[in-house]
Amino acid sequence: MESNLTPGMAKVTIVKGQTKQSKIVEVFGPPDLVTHKDDMQIWTYEKIHNEIQSRGGYFTVLLAGGDSRRTVSSSTSTMLIVYFDSTDTVTDYRLSVVHY
């Protein structure tokens, strides 16, 4: 199942001072972590996407053959932190995307 946790979805879904918790759950699902600070509720979402590509070929050197397969991997970590006030309305959010 493809996740909606993308920078584009966060930008079109979350409006500070307007978006309610119910809309966040509808779009992103239940949070991975819920914490509290004073009268604020903080929801954290995290998605890690791993991609592995195997590229292969065959080469011959004189009479000996060899396998030239190569594996390339990359990962993307997306973290969304949403801050809610006591009326379950978004007051702020932070989004970070790291490619490695």
The model's pLDDT over 39-97, given as tens digits with 9 standing for 90+, comes to 999 999 999 888 777 665 555 455 555 555 677 788 889 999 999 999 999 999 999 99
Q: Could you tell me the two tokens for 25?
A: 């759950």
Closest CA to 84 of 4, 22, 5: 22
* Residue 39 lies inside a defined structural domain of this protein: yes
* Residue 60 lies inside a defined structural domain of this protein: yes
* Residue 51 lies inside a defined structural domain of this protein: yes
Q: Would you state the pLDDT for residue 84?
A: 98
- Report the C-alpha gap between 83 and 45 in whole angstroms: 12
Q: Would you state the pLDDT for residue 93?
A: 97
CB 52 within 8 A of CB 69: no
Q: Would you state the pLDDT for residue 51?
A: 79
- Domains contained in the chain, number: 1
* Residue 86 lies inside a defined structural domain of this protein: yes
Range of the domain at 56: 7-99
**Locus of tokens 């292969």:** 56
Contacts 24+ apart (CB under 8 A), 34-37: none
* Residue 85 lies inside a defined structural domain of this protein: yes
Backbone angles phi, psi at 24, to 5 degrees: -65, -45
Tell me which of 51 and 27 has the higher pLDDT.
Answer: 27
* Residue 2 lies inside a defined structural domain of this protein: no
